[in-house]
Structure 1
């Protein structure tokens, strides 16, 4: 009897060891990938910096669809336009979920961040509300907001050109707070805006730690006492929730007082009365929009500034087009967009050349087993849109690291229409994501980017700053910040008005807008500029 017991224990231990050692291995039939180690799989090969380069290298070695085994999790990486179109777009019904992200969603976000939310009724209802704010019809009503914020951007660049990143960030943040909450950010020194951008950096830092990766892929570790990463994530959520809840409750107070500008929160408050969702959920819906609008737009404009700095021939060609269409006596407007195809190409090339979501942001996940190219893609696998590799595919963009807007000379589609093209090989770039998780702010972003890029080119020359020896300071175009959303590492540039007449027009336009549209003390809107934003059906 004792022998049988011992044999049973040995068999059980052997089976447990076998199961443990099978963790991290790539099962037969999965997409190929780098060799794995027992238990950890490919975790030890995951880079802590410039991951886009390693993911590109693996794509070159293992093909357009490969897999990484991350402990108990599987990540399938899509590195071709055809694969993204087929799986994330055409098969979006089973590719729209999110992987479990314990640190990022549960601890950092309290399970409330729309970006990381699992596919289901809550996400679908939230997406419906957001669509009402950002669809193509409603987006047109925000142009007055965009024009005013653009005028302050130019005024800031004229008077404090060395702080151009600050002016760009204020521009994107003020526009977003106006659309979402009904109030604007008049100065970069606004404490809540600084907290928002600092929060972006902290969120990226927490989720890039090795501890966060291990806790995400080995759920058993969650029952152990908290690691410093977990404590830091909970504290970040506490501060972030306080920020977002404060914004939302301020909007609700203004709604009750009848003093709010027409904005997304007006409609969301009506939806809350009908559907009964909590203030916590509402504050994260609006906070998610604030994150997306503030960070990605400013990062793209900053990338554009680097592009025209490093490639002065592009800057000269763009300015020549503006001269021929607009002339020196007025600024470009949205009505000029169709007549400025090279400016539109500059926008597309910036999004391709310097993608903010360099690795597709947050991976999709499958809700059932699927097959593609003869490979098994298992239920629950993370599926990454490998944006950097696709955007820099030489077959799509010859000399991909050259900033060359002329590659889009025959592309006359807007950003959304290009993303919707049934032929994935003809899509302009993949920075906005794909499928049901595609960025819903493309219509708004396109207008914000066009106004910023066209008017900066109209008003200013962007040239190299010089060091003490008079030598030009040439930034490295391949150095990026790290995180879910990235941009070029900070760089200096010299921004000067193209003429004294243009400088006077920039100053006159802003002072007139400030006098006629804003309160003299708090610099908030005197009258509603946008129309019928909250009247959209949810």
Structure 2
């Protein structure tokens, strides 16, 4: 009886997919160009499993910058150009700001009420308001002492054990975000909250990329509801994914509770730290109302700032170290600029940023060369739309290929070359003292400014981008001010071994482990690192 019911359900599902494909066929609608398609499964046979962003970028030469695809009846739109991304997700944000349903990561694992996964609506807008209140370009200046202190501590650790720089980068980002968000100080590599989030993130991403698991892509949710995946016992064969998701959900719950417990204990003891979540709790308590959903909102927002921010910022800074190891001429130019503007008696501060244009160019080029999230978290269209004469079906999953945009030769000639000079739009040699070729004005770089692309688009733009940019810039400038970095030298052969440009694939693009040589520029620079608080 059960087998018969399943057979009927499967038949209904297949019929629904075929009917939907007929409705969305080029004969019925004028869809954007698409790879070859098969009956029922659509473009599934041609969809890449690894390095999808590279395949999508190659497709641009054949199909253009806006590509339609369908997997088992699920319509998708691959967006490979900044122009199209902004046309859709910014100019038509009211249509393209939703999120596709993420059954595994969102609903089973417990991330569904966090900002990256919320459907577009009032709760999403509330979370954004709560974030922007304290992380907009003006309010974020309150966190600068925290960020500077964490960068200086990072320099001291690198001076002591340069071979541990990758671990120290992770601790730098974790310490900065946790101190700003929860007032929690990371005092060791084995910090319990850092360890918990690392484990949770690993388990969350093992199931697949956001919105990209088989269940997320499968359009016939009726079959999922029939099988009642949520209610089937975990001991049944084929329930491995559910077992993994439920274990992850336990960790996600603890990620949201642990730092909140700590800050509430400090508040009860009268020693509440100056931090983001403490401000939210002050505002909530002053309202005099009991609002359980708002309490959950505070938990979710605090947890997602750390969970979403650490991995991506760490990947960006690690890419900086990789490229500086390979590009000694870039290091030298940056150090000349820092020495001229800042000198050698102090470390750079964020106030020096406008006077250090080449450092700005380096930051932009690192963003471009290795966007931490090669394919942004998918958007979803909320209604049928038209674009360039094509029909974009309602409910389409929108995949912004940020990596492909950063390889657009229209804006970035020789895109595989790491070249900060590409952003120096004008050079004014109006200083008779230095005559330095990097002194001068930088014009805004419009569509080709990586800083305006890698953090996403429209109403889904990362609200923590201002905080992240300051941490990244300070780290780059302070590190180059006091350290030299070069390829590792084999002690037996005496030969330098430049690292290969290799990145781990996953939800973020992080350089694979590599060796390099890091030494202070001089004894004076070493003392400067030691004396900074």
Cα 1:293–1:15 change in 2 (3 A) is closer
- Counting matched residue pairs gives 490
Counterpart CA distance in 2 for 1:434 and 1:428 is 11
Counterpart CA distance in 2 for 1:14 and 1:150 is 59
**Contact 2:171 2:186 (C-alpha < 8 Å) held by counterparts:** yes
* 1:27 pairs with one of 22, 25, 28: 25
Cα 1:427–1:449 change in 2 (3 A) is closer
Partner in structure 1 of residue 249 of structure 2: 237
> Which range moves more in the overlay, 77-86 or 21-30?
21-30
Q: Deviation digits for residues 255-291 of structure 1, max 9, x if unmatched?
A: 2332121111123224545471344443221111112
Counterpart CA distance in 1 for 2:49 and 2:14 is 30
Counterpart CA distance in 1 for 2:77 and 2:325 is 37
- What is the Cα deviation at residue 443 of structure 1? 1.6
Counterpart CA distance in 2 for 1:13 and 1:341 is 60
**Contact 2:364 2:449 (C-alpha < 8 Å) held by counterparts:** no
Q: Deviation digits for residues 14-65 of structure 1, max 9, x if unmatched?
A: 9986544345675222212111222322233333322221111122221110
**Contact 1:158 1:503 (C-alpha < 8 Å) held by counterparts:** yes
Counterpart CA distance in 1 for 2:353 and 2:498 is 31
Indicate whether 1:487 and 2:510 are aligned: yes
Flag structure 2 segments of 5+ consecutive residues without an equivalent.
1-8, 233-237, 428-441
Counterpart CA distance in 1 for 2:317 and 2:11 is 58
Cα 1:14–1:434 change in 2 (3 A) is closer
Q: Deviation digits for residues 327-376 of structure 1, max 9, x if unmatched?
A: 2222111121111000011111110111101112x111111111111111
Cα 1:427–1:50 change in 2 (3 A) is closer
Partner in structure 2 of residue 377 of structure 1: 392
- What is the Cα deviation at residue 187 of structure 1? 2.1
* 1:301 pairs with one of 308, 313, 317: 317
* 1:327 pairs with one of 331, 343, 364: 343
Q: Secondary structure at the match of 1:234?
A: helix
Counterpart CA distance in 1 for 2:40 and 2:322 is 43
Cα 1:15–1:239 change in 2 (3 A) is closer
Partner in structure 2 of residue 453 of structure 1: 476
Partner in structure 1 of residue 114 of structure 2: 113
Cα 1:76–1:443 change in 2 (3 A) is same
Counterpart CA distance in 1 for 2:156 and 2:54 is 38
Partner in structure 2 of residue 393 of structure 1: 408
Indicate whether 1:502 and 2:518 are aligned: no
- What is the Cα deviation at residue 460 of structure 1? 0.7
Partner in structure 2 of residue 193 of structure 1: 194
Counting only pairs closer than 5 Å after superposition, residues 11-22 of structure 1 correspond to structure 2 as 19-22=16-19
> Which range moves more in the overlay, 348-357 or 183-192?
183-192
TM-score by length of 1: 0.85
Counterpart CA distance in 2 for 1:93 and 1:16 is 31
Cα 1:56–1:16 change in 2 (3 A) is closer
- What is the Cα deviation at residue 485 of structure 1? 2.1
Indicate whether 1:162 and 2:192 are aligned: no
Indicate whether 1:476 and 2:500 are aligned: yes
> Which range moves more in the overlay, 49-58 or 396-405?
49-58
Counterpart CA distance in 1 for 2:280 and 2:13 is 51
Counting only pairs closer than 5 Å after superposition, residues 52-451 of structure 1 correspond to structure 2 as 52-208=53-209, 212-214=213-215, 216-218=217-219, 219=221, 220-221=223-224, 223=227, 225=232, 227-273=239-285, 274=287, 276-278=291-293, 279-360=295-376, 362-410=377-425, 424=447, 430-451=453-474
- What is the Cα deviation at residue 208 of structure 1? 4.6
- What is the Cα deviation at residue 221 of structure 1? 3.8
Q: Deviation digits for residues 497-534 of structure 1, max 9, x if unmatched?
A: 1111111111121xxx2xxxxxxxxxxxxxxxxxxxxx
Flag structure 1 segments of 5+ consecutive residues without an equivalent.
1-11, 413-417, 514-538
RMSD between aligned residues:
2.6
